[in-house]
Chain A
Amino acid sequence: MLGQTYRFQITSAMSLLHRASGVLLAFAAFGFSWWIMSIALGGSYAECAIAVTSSLAGKLVLFVISLALMYHLFNGIRHLAWDAGFGFKIPQVYASGYTVLALTVIATIIIWLVAMSGGAA
């Protein structure tokens, strides 16, 4: 990924992932507009949106979006903490990085447990 010059570091990988997830979520924002417009128009438009979101491919896309959203949310809070001047020591940067990764997985699991238990997802 980083060629021969740089060894893999969780710090640079997470920084790259923040941007990549952000780009993905920017496109997902247009998906949100399409979805809520379909719900607003109702009828066959709403049926189409529900067919998409309840299909296997649609659920997979929603899962990836939820994963990217939780990562960008928690890593974004990490960035805001840096902006406020907290957590710049190298051990703190690593600790907050692993915390973000753990929270991303936990929050994504909770979202889908809630969605599945509703029976509708």
Chain B
Amino acid sequence: MSAKFRSPLHQAKGWGSAKSGTGHFWWQRVTAVILALLVPYIVFLLACVGSADVEALRATIAQPWNAIIFTIFAIALFWHAKLGLQVVIEDYVHDRAMHLALRILLILGSLVGVLSAIYAIARIAMTA
């Protein structure tokens, strides 16, 4: 559409919009809506069951719907947290090396956090 407004050199180099500029904004809102729906349920569920009885907790989390809801919650939680902390790093950490190190650490840490939670939920669902 706007190809005629670009210089030939610009086109040849393939520069321009990365076409992913709204991705961060969009997924932060999508995960926010998911969390806004799931947090009240999960908080109320855990407050009712309490944290002292392991078998009651395992039996609750092992319920099929709860296992699915907990998994969606874990994914939305770490995704949302990753997007949020990324903005905090972008805003406050201006040292290039430290910035890159924290950004990579954030991705690795988020993966460890979400995958360990999903593993734990699956293990409870299959053994409780």
**Does B33 interact with chain A (Cβ within 8 Å)?**
yes
Decide: A80 and B36 in contact? CB cutoff 8 A.
Answer: yes
Chain A residues near B32: list those with CB within 8 A: 76, 79-80
Q: How far is the CA of A41 from the CA of B54 in the complex (A)?
A: 11
Taking the nearest CB of chain A, how far is it from the CB of B75, in angstroms? 11
- Does B5 interact with chain A (Cβ within 8 Å)? no
Q: Which residues of A contact B123 (CB under 8 A)?
A: 40-41
Within 8 A of B (CB), among A56-112: 66, 69, 73, 76-77, 79-80, 83, 111-112
Contact of B84 among A26, A39, A69 (CB under 8 A): A26
Bound CA–CA A54/B39 (angstroms): 21
Contact of A118 with B49 in the complex, beta carbons under 8 Å: yes
CA distance A88 to B19 in the complex (A): 30
Please count how many residues in chain B sit with their CB below 8 Å of the partner chain's CB atoms. 40
Task: Report the minimum CB–CB distance from A120 to chain B (whole Å).
Answer: 2
Residues of A contacting B70 in the complex (Cβ-Cβ under 8 angstroms): 36
Residue from A50, A76, A114 in contact with B54 in the complex, judged by beta carbons closer than 8 Å: A50
Docked complex Cα distance between A95 and B29 (Å): 23
On whether the beta carbons of B120 and A30 are closer than 8 Å, the reply is: no
Is the C-beta of B51 less than 8 angstroms from some C-beta in chain A? yes
Q: Which residues of A contact B47 (CB under 8 A)?
A: 111-112, 114-115, 118
Give Cα A25–Cα B77 distance, bound, in whole angstroms.
9
Closest residue of chain B to A73 (Cβ to Cβ) is B39
Do the beta carbons of B85 and A23 come within 8 Å of each other?
A: yes
Whether B50 and A119, one on each chain, are in contact in the complex, defined by CB atoms closer than 8 angstroms, is: yes
Least CB distance from B2 to A in Å reads 27
Quick check: B113 and A33 within 8 Å, CB to CB? Answer: yes
Output the least CB separation between B110 and chain A (Å): 9
CB-based contact B52/A39 at 8 Å: no
| Closest B residue, CB atoms, query A45 | B54
B residues apposed to A, CB below 8 Å: 29, 32-33, 35-36, 39-40, 43-44, 47-54, 57-58, 61, 70, 74, 77-78, 81, 84-85, 88, 109, 112-114, 116-117, 119-121, 123-124, 127
- The 3 A-B residue pairs whose C-beta atoms are closest, nearest first, are A120-B50, A40-B120, A26-B81
Binding site for B on A (CB under 8 A): 19, 22-23, 25-26, 29-30, 32-33, 36-37, 39-42, 46, 50, 53-54, 66, 69, 73, 76-77, 79-80, 83, 111-112, 114-115, 118-121
